[in-house]
């Protein structure tokens, strides 16, 4: 999973859309979805992943 970005720039995370996605995951309590959010930071060019 990749986090939403601004202008397809992996270094610029769209915080508004990301907050919506995180809220959805928390409301639905899906471990797999939350795990993917934790992994996504590294995938978006911020190390790791």
What are 1-49's pLDDT values in tens digits? Answer: 678 899 998 889 899 998 998 888 788 877 777 777 777 666 656 554 4
- Hey, which bits of 1-49 come out as E strands? 5-6, 9-13
Place of tokens 């959805």: 24
Q: What per-residue confidence (pLDDT) applies to 26?
A: 81
CA-CA distance, 28 to 32, in Å (whole number)? 11
Which of 27, 17, 28 minimizes the C-alpha distance to 1? 17
The model's pTM is 0.59
Q: What per-residue confidence (pLDDT) applies to 49?
A: 46
């Amino acid at each position: 999973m990749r986090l939403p970005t601004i202008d397809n720039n992996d270094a610029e995370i769209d915080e508004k859309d990301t907050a919506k996605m995180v809220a959805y995951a928390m409301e639905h309590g899906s471990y797999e979805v939350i795990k993917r959010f934790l992994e996504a930071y590294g995938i978006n060019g911020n190390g790791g992943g």
